[in-house]
A and B are shown apart, each in its own frame.
Chain A
Amino acid sequence: MPVIVPESVESALAALAAFPDATVLAGGTDLMVEVNDGRRSLARVVAVGRVPELADIRVDDATVVIGAATTFARLELDPVARLVPALALAARTVGSPQIRNAATIGGNLATASPAGDALPVLVALGASVEIAGMYGRRLIPIAEFFTGPKRSVLEVGDLVVAVRVPIRRGPQDYLKVGVRNAMVIAVASLAIAVDLDRQRVGIGLGSVGPTALDAPEACSWVAARARWRGDGVEVTDDDVVEFGERVTDAARPIDDHRGTAQYRRHAVGVMARRALRRCTG
């Protein structure tokens, strides 16, 4: 059968092992664009949308475990997913209602586009990706998951099972620059997550490098400069400005059909300042 619809992770892995030429199909919103355009031919398809484990969202020890086949429509509204507010915000900026109804977070990871909307959030929060393969399961920190534009550590026979996102007490935000509010691929995007308990700030950047990027130097600098209270954090106006410059230094943008490197660097600075202001005070 050219389309295999497994009902468990184990049977999906068995199908992928038996047919190394098989393509994993989740929401189809990236894959079918390439197929329709004739850029990708399919020998065999393993459609993972009906595997119950992949559609599960649960809380496990201060971590939200989001099944790979969870759609962005569900991430916008699901009460458990909303324990990670930046992810719900990012989900709402994905494509259109039609796209969010189909597109999945596992697909976002596996496609590994530098513009993937969920990815800066996962970077800012230090999420990890649970992968199942023929040698068992492994947990890969998000910082080690991407190896280049549209490239990741996923190998033939591997399946993204879930993403584990830490629950953090503190404000979060997601900002995205594009040509319109809807149906847009990010020209630049930024996620911020403040962790009041550990007195840390996390940043993730999208569309300004070969992969989603972090900004560890800017984050540790601002965390050391900030005045931490139990219920919030304060920074000076000067520090907001310098934070913008330091986050901009972490970006590695290029010129492409969506924007120039110079514009993207500028946008990162604006978003970093705006995000920090919104999360402090």
Chain B
Amino acid sequence: MSEMYVLRVNGDEHGVADAWLGESLLYVLRERLGFPGAKAGCEQGECGSCSVFVDTTLVCACLVLAAAAVDSEITTLEGLQPGERGAVTDVQRAFVETGAVQCGFCTPGLIMAVHALLDADPEPTDLAVREAISGNLCRCTGYGRILEAVEVAVDARRGAVG
């Protein structure tokens, strides 16, 4: 596939040239456009480490055909970060505060999944939280501190609103 196509990532347009037709959005983001936030884990939709938003919908970037995402707004972890370099989101801060990060490989995907959850449901039940992160595998933490981090993020948002 020699034709160039353009992807809109985190608000900016990026040309993709000389790509192979079968390349996943995950591959193009990481290897061609320099967005390493989405992690390449299983590349079959099982682990959730490559979670991104395509038009505000949480999906596995490994299962999106990059060349078919040309008319979509793609948001990666990098696109969630507010302001200057090094700044973190409220969900990221909650993960750091609770020690929900060990090796860190699953963390970007989990941050995306938790943002998707809290944007849709600011007061999720425990079951809703577990269901929302059911597609994100973490092999270090046992999930306890991740669930705690979600609670902290919910409380922080509640405080910020009220």
Contacts and interface: CB of A to CB of B under 8 A. Distances in A.
Given A42-B22, A182-B131, A98 B59 contact: yes
Contact of A47 (B1, B3, B65): B65
A99 B135 contact: yes
Interface of A: 1-3, 5, 25, 27-29, 31-33, 35-37, 40-45, 47, 49-50, 95-99, 101-102, 181-183
Contacts of B24: 32, 35-36
22 contacts: A1-B3, A2-B67, A3-B5, A5-B68, A5-B71, A29-B60, A32-B62, A32-B64, A33-B44, A35-B22, A37-B43, A40-B22, A47-B65, A96-B48, A97-B113, A97-B131, A97-B132, A98-B51, A98-B60, A99-B63, A99-B135, A102-B64
A212 to B, nearest CB: 22
Contact of B45 (A1, A43, A95, A182): A95
B43 A36 contact: yes
Nearest to B5: A3
A3 B113 contact: no
Contacts of B141: none
Highest count of chain A CB atoms <10 Å: which of B45, B70, B135: B45
B6 interface: no
Contacts of A97: 58, 113, 116, 131-132, 134-135
A98 B135 CA distance: 7
A41 B22 contact: yes
Contacts of A2: 1, 3, 21, 67
Interface in B38-66: 43-46, 48, 51, 57-60, 62-65
Given A42-B21, A101-B58, A96 B64 contact: no
Interface in B115-140: 116, 131-132, 134-136
Contacts of B43: 33, 36-37
A45 B21 contact: yes
B63 A29 contact: yes
A70 to B, nearest CB: 14
B3 A33 contact: no
Contacts of A37: 43-44
A99 B65 CA distance: 14
B134 A32 contact: no
B21 A3 contact: yes
Given A43-B21, A97-B135, 13 more contacts: A2-B1, A2-B3, A3-B68, A3-B70, A5-B70, A27-B63, A35-B24, A37-B43, A45-B67, A97-B58, A98-B58, A99-B63, A183-B135
Contact of A98 (B48, B68, B71): B48
Nearest to B19: A2
A36 B62 contact: yes
Contact of B60 (A1, A35, A40, A99): A99
A28 B70 CA distance: 15
Given A29-B63, A33-B44, A35-B22, A45 B68 contact: yes
B155 to A, nearest CB: 23
A67 B53 CA distance: 23
A96 B65 contact: no
B41 to A, nearest CB: 11
Contacts of B57: 101-102
Given A36-B43, A37-B44, A96 B63 contact: no
B21 to A, nearest CB: 5
